Amino acid sequence: NILKIGQIKTSPPYQSQRVMHNNAGK
């Protein structure tokens, strides 16, 4: 659910992917 919200918040899809990768790394 949190991921979905973040994706909706960020208009560009590439940004959402970057955030996902960052979270995974952390």
Its pTM stands at 0.19
| Predicted local distance difference test score (pLDDT) of residue 8 | 58
| Predicted local distance difference test score (pLDDT) of residue 7 | 57
| Predicted local distance difference test score (pLDDT) of residue 6 | 58
What average pLDDT does the segment 3-21 reach? Answer: 60
> How would you label 1-26 residue by residue, b for 16+ Cβ within 10 Å and e otherwise?
eeeeeeeeeeeeeeebeeeeeeeeee
What average pLDDT does the segment 7-22 reach? Answer: 60
Residue 19 confidence (pLDDT) above 60: yes
| Predicted local distance difference test score (pLDDT) of residue 20 | 63
What's the rounded Cα separation, in Å, for the pair 5 and 20? 12
- DSSP code for 10: S
Helices (H) and strands (E) in the chain, counts: 2, 0
| Predicted local distance difference test score (pLDDT) of residue 2 | 60
What's the rounded Cα separation, in Å, for the pair 24 and 18? 10
